[in-house]
Structure 1
C-alpha cells in the first residue's frame, strides 16, 4: 500500500530556562530503537554553529546519510540562513528518504542573554520533538581549556594525543541483589561547550584509563559524531567499569580557548584528568631525516647501521620515554626506535637495550615507555621498515634528570 503523505506541524516555544529539546524525522512503523537522536540545550543560543565567514539565524546541522555518523576528524556539514530583524525567519529544505535526521539550532546576534522564540516545523512526513530527556542522578562539571600545549586537533594530526583526556570509571550497582542488575549498562551523557567559533568533539573510548594516542572505530564506546561549533554531546549506554578514556578535542590546532565539560550518569562514576605525556619530566626534541644514504631500513636490512643515529649521554641514572613520529604523517610510514649500548668493540651498534616494538605506521608515531637507564652513553636509532624510504621525523625524549644530551652521532 502506498504511503500516504500527511502534513504535520510540530511546535516548541522556548521561554526562560527551557528544558533540553531535540527533533527527529522518522518513518511510520520505524523501530524506535534504531532511531538516532541528538539533543541541544538552550545554552546553544548564541553559539549558532556559525562558520567564521557565514552568518545564520536558523542553522541546521544535517546528519550523514543512513545515520552513519563519522568519527574523529569528521567534516562539518551545515546550512545557514541570514540574520534578520524580521518577525519570522523561514528556511526551506528538501528531506530525502535516506536523510531521516536533521537537527535545528536557532541563534541570534547581540548581547542580550534572554531571547524567547518559537520554532515551528511543517512537514509532509511524520516529524516529532523529544522534550523529555533522561534525568541522571550523578553529574560532574569540569572547567578546562585548549592551550598551545593541549590543542592537539582532530585525529588526522600526529598531535591528537595531546588533547585533554579524562579517565572515566563507572561503578557497578553493587547494592543490587541480582547479578543481571549489577551488570546492567549505565546510561550516560557527556556534554562540552566552548566558544562559538571552535568546533569540538567528544570521544569516550575503550581503554584502561590510559592516555590515548589515536583511535580506531572499534575503540569507541560512544561518540558525539562530526565536529560541531561550540557544543557537542555524546549519549548512550555503556557497561560499568574503569576502562574508559574520554578525549575532548577541537578540530584544528589553532583552536584555542576555554571549555566546560559535564558528565551525567545513572550510576556513580569517577572522572579524573589523565596527565599529559611526560608530565613532571624534562623534554627535548630533535628533528632529522632519512635520506637516500641514511634510509637504512629495518634490522633485516644489511644497511640498518646506516640509519640516523643519536648519542644519548646520561650524567645520572634516569627514567626516560621516547616518541618517534613523522613531521608529515601522510603518506603513512612504518617506524621504529631502538636504544643500544654504546659499542665497546668494532661493531657499529652495541647490545640491544629497548625498542618501541614492531614497526608501526600509526599517525601518532611509536613509543618507548618507562625506560630506566644507568648513567653512561647509549645509541638511539630511529628507522623505517623498508630501506630507501625517505622521510623527515621528530624524536621526542622525556627524562627525569637534567643535563641529558641527545646529539647526532659523529662517525
Structure 2
C-alpha cells in the first residue's frame, strides 16, 4: 500500500511526525478494507499488516520522536465516515446492517425473526398471529395496476398507535396511483422486474430502511407473513380496506419490528417516509411564523407536479365543529389540493383510522377519541366527516398544528453527504454539564457553493443517529452563515423554528438562498442531550454545485461566560425601549506576539432554555454599551431570534475592542444563558456594567403638551449636584416613537436657560431614546437646567427621564 510505503520512507528520512501520521492513516485504511472484505484469508492478512503498522507508530511514539501535539483526525476521509456508519448498525438491540443490491434478491434461509411486540390494545383484543394468506386469501402483495379511485383511501389504521406511519403509507399509495412512482412500495422485498413487491415463495420478506445515515436492513433474518388478528379473525393492523393488497400490512410489520413493536408512539409522516423512501422531510409550524401565501404557492406547485406529498397533524387539543370530527395528536393524509378561479383554496384530508368501511367497523380508539361510546352506529354524516374532509387553507392553522412535507430528492441536480461524530469526552467541541448526564456538542463544517444567476435555494438536511427509537430530550440544530459579513438587515424578526433553533425531531431542514458566484459558508451543527457521542449525517442539496468541506481547525483561545436575564436586565429585542438593558460584553482581541498584524476569526455560541428565544449581535462600539443597532456597526449576527441557541462567526477582525449583545425577544424574560467565545487571537471578555451601575439614580416622568408650548417654553428640570459629579441622562417618549433630544444648560443669573453644558446632539427617534453618555460638572449654587425636547409637537406626549450621577443630586420640575 502506498501509504505504508510512504510512512516507511518518512521514518527512514527522520521526519517522525509525518511518519507517525502516515502509519496511523495506513492502519485505518486496512481496518476499513477489513470491514468490506468477505474472504477470511484476505481479512487475516490485512489484520496482520494493520497490527504491524500500529506497532511502528507506537514505537515512534514511545521513542518520543513525535511531536507532543495531538494529531488532528481527518473526519472527512472515507475510513472515518465508514466507521460512523458502522457504529450506527446497532438499533433497538437489533443489527441493521448496510443494504447492498444483492439483499433485494437474496432468499433468506434462516428462521424468520420473532414477531414484534403487540400493543396494549392488541393484547386486550386477544390478538394471535395468523398467515396473511389465510386472512386475505384473494390478496396479492401489490397490484400491477393501481386502482382508479383514491388508493390512499384503501389503507386503514386499526387499533394501533402508529397513525404517522399509516398516514405515510396512505400518501405514498396515492402518489403511486397518480404518478406510478412506487413510493413506499419499493422498500419491500422481494420485487418483480417492475420494482413492485411480490410474493415470497418461503413467506419471508425484508424491508430496506434509511436509518442512521444509510440504507439498512435486518441482514441475517426477515419477517414472515403472519399478521395480528383478534379473536374473531379480524386484522388489528394497517391493512387495505378491500383486502386485495398486502404490502401495507407487511411494510408496517417490518418497520415496527425495527422500531420495537406495535406499541409505536408515532412521530410524523414526513420522518417515517424519510426512513421508508428517503424523501426529504420538512416540518412547517402552522401557528408560528407561517408565511401563508409563500408556503401555499411552494407546496401547491410541488404537490401538483408530484414532487412532494403532504400530511397534517393536530395538537394536544382540537376545536370540535359539526363539519370536522378531529382527534387530538393525530396525523391526517392530504390526498388533494384545490384552487379555483376565485382563489378558494382547500386541502382534502383522509383520516387513516378505520371507519365507515364495507363492514361498518369503527375502532374502540376511534370511538373514545370522538366520545361516541361503545354502542350504536355513528351517523352517515359523522362517518364521512371523520374519514374524509375538506379544509380551507386559510383556516388550516385553526384546526391543525403542523404541516409535514416530504420532498422528492430528485428535484436537485447536486448533492453531497458527510457522516460525522463528536465525542463529549476529550473532544474540543463537546462539553458535559457538571454533575449530570446532559451534554452539548458543536461541530463546524464548510459549505462551498458555486451559484449561477438562477434564484435556487440550497437545502441542508441534518439527521441525528440513534441507538433506539423514541429517544427523548435529544435536540439538534443546523445554521449557515457567511463568516465574512453580518446580516445586512437590522430589522427584528420573530423567533423562528427554521433558523438554528433546537428541535427534538430526528432531522432538521435548513434552506437558504446563496449569493451569486463562488462562496464558502460556515455550517454549525449543534446537539444537546444525554448522548455522550453525537453522530449525525449532513446532506446538502441544490441545483447549484455544492460541496461539504472540513471546517476550520479549533481556535486556540476561548472563554466561557455565564449570564442571566433578570427583571432589570431583560430588555427584549431592539424595537423595545428597554433594549439597552440587555446583558452586553466587551470582547478585547489582543495582538499575537509572533504575528502582531494578524486579524482574528471569532466564533461565538450561546445556549439557553430550549423554550426561550435568544439573539447574538457583535457590534463595533469600542467595547462600550450600545442602545441601538446601526447597520454599518453590526459586524456579525442575524435579525431572527432562535429558540434555545444562537451563534455567529466573523472573519478578519482587527485587534481592538468589540461589544457583544445577548438579547431576549420579549422584555422581562427571566432565565440563564451560557456564551462560548473562541478566537484565533488572544482575547479577554468582560461584562459591561449596566447603565448607571454604581451611581445614584432618579426616574422622572413628565409630558410635552400644547399648553406647555403656549406657555412659552419646554418642560424644564432643575439639577443640583453635591460636588463634582459625572452625570448621564436618558430621555424616552413613553408612548409612540418620536424624535427627541435632551440637553443640560447652565442656569443664567437672571433665571434664563444659559449656555449648553452637554447635549444628546440632534433629535433621534430610536426606541431607547436620546442619551447624554457622560459629562462631568462641578457643583454650583444655582445648579443646572435639564431640557427635554420634542421638536415636532403632536398633542400631549408623556416622557421619562433617567438621571444618573456618581454624587448625590436633586432634580425638581421648574
TM-score (norm 2): 0.39
Alpha-carbon spacing, 1:131–1:381, altered in 2? closer, same or farther (3 Å): same
Distance 2:677 2:645 in 1: 14
Q: Is the 8 A contact 1:283 1:398 kept in 2?
A: yes
Tell me how far 1:361 sits from its aligned partner: 2.6
Q: C-alpha offsets along residues 113-140 of structure 1, whole Å, 9 cap, x if unaligned? A: 5586654648575665556443111111
1:2-401 alignment, distance < 5 Å: 6=413, 8=415, 10=417, 12=419, 14=421, 16-17=423-424, 20-21=442-443, 46=473, 48=475, 70-71=489-490, 73-78=492-497, 112=530, 118-119=536-537, 121=539, 123=541, 125=543, 129=548, 132-176=551-595, 182-295=596-709, 305-328=712-735, 330-331=736-737, 333-345=738-750, 347-368=751-772, 369-376=774-781, 377-388=783-794, 390-401=796-807
Distance 2:604 2:630 in 1: 20
Q: Is the 8 A contact 2:449 2:514 kept in 1?
A: no
Q: Which residue of 1 aligns with 2:254?
A: none
Q: C-alpha offsets along residues 311-367 of structure 1, whole Å, 9 cap, x if unaligned? A: 223355433221111223x43x2222222344443x543454333223233332222
Tell me how far 1:151 sits from its aligned partner: 1.3
Distance 2:760 2:502 in 1: 52
Tell me how far 1:63 sits from its aligned partner: 8.8
Aligned-partner SS, 2:611: coil
Distance 2:502 2:719 in 1: 59
Structure 1 stretches of 5 or more lacking a match?
A: 49-57, 177-181, 297-302
Q: Is the 8 A contact 1:168 1:272 kept in 2?
A: yes
Aligned-partner SS, 1:222: strand
Alpha-carbon spacing, 1:124–1:316, altered in 2? closer, same or farther (3 Å): closer
Distance 2:540 2:787 in 1: 65
Q: Is the 8 A contact 1:59 1:78 kept in 2?
A: no
Task: State the structure with more CA Rg.
Answer: 2
Q: C-alpha offsets along residues 29-64 of structure 1, whole Å, 9 cap, x if unaligned? A: 679xxx999999x9xx9485xxxxxxxxx8787999
Q: Which residue of 2 aligns with 1:54?
A: none
Alpha-carbon spacing, 1:141–1:221, altered in 2? closer, same or farther (3 Å): same
Alpha-carbon spacing, 1:76–1:24, altered in 2? closer, same or farther (3 Å): farther
Distance 2:729 2:411 in 1: 64
Alpha-carbon spacing, 1:47–1:287, altered in 2? closer, same or farther (3 Å): farther
State which drifts further: 223-232 or 285-294: 223-232
Q: C-alpha offsets along residues 160-181 of structure 1, whole Å, 9 cap, x if unaligned? A: 22111122221223423xxxxx
Alpha-carbon spacing, 1:383–1:156, altered in 2? closer, same or farther (3 Å): same
Tell me how far 1:77 sits from its aligned partner: 3.1
Distance 2:509 2:658 in 1: 41
Richer in helix (by share): 2
Distance 2:587 2:572 in 1: 21
Distance 2:648 2:509 in 1: 28
State which drifts further: 118-127 or 360-369: 118-127
Number of residue pairs matched by the alignment: 366
Q: Which residue of 1 aligns with 2:135?
A: none
Distance 1:267 1:76 in 2: 33
Distance 2:583 2:719 in 1: 31
Alpha-carbon spacing, 1:37–1:257, altered in 2? closer, same or farther (3 Å): farther
Q: Which residue of 2 aligns with 1:405?
A: 810
Distance 1:260 1:82 in 2: 19
Q: C-alpha offsets along residues 71-111 of structure 1, whole Å, 9 cap, x if unaligned? A: 46233333599978xxxx67889x69779999897989xx8
Q: Is the 8 A contact 2:495 2:665 kept in 1?
A: no
Tell me how far 1:395 sits from its aligned partner: 0.4
Q: Which residue of 2 aligns with 1:51?
A: none
Tell me how far 1:189 sits from its aligned partner: 0.4
Distance 2:685 2:745 in 1: 40
Alpha-carbon spacing, 1:342–1:315, altered in 2? closer, same or farther (3 Å): same
Alpha-carbon spacing, 1:104–1:21, altered in 2? closer, same or farther (3 Å): closer
Alpha-carbon spacing, 1:115–1:208, altered in 2? closer, same or farther (3 Å): closer
Distance 1:12 1:379 in 2: 68
Richer in strand (by share): 1
Alpha-carbon spacing, 1:233–1:83, altered in 2? closer, same or farther (3 Å): closer
Q: Is the 8 A contact 2:717 2:811 kept in 1?
A: yes
Q: Which residue of 1 aligns with 2:307?
A: none
Query: Over aligned residues, Cα RMSD in angstroms?
Result: 4.2
Tell me how far 1:289 sits from its aligned partner: 1.3
Aligned-partner SS, 2:632: helix
Alpha-carbon spacing, 1:46–1:327, altered in 2? closer, same or farther (3 Å): farther
Structure 2 stretches of 5 or more lacking a match?
A: 1-409, 425-429, 431-440, 465-471
TM-score (norm 1): 0.73
Q: Is the 8 A contact 1:38 1:103 kept in 2?
A: no
Distance 1:30 1:39 in 2: 22
Tell me how far 1:285 sits from its aligned partner: 0.5
Tell me how far 1:226 sits from its aligned partner: 2.1
Distance 1:82 1:245 in 2: 29
The higher-RCO structure (CA 8 Å, 6+ apart) is 1
Tell me how far 1:391 sits from its aligned partner: 2.3
Q: Is the 8 A contact 2:619 2:636 kept in 1?
A: yes
Alpha-carbon spacing, 1:230–1:99, altered in 2? closer, same or farther (3 Å): farther
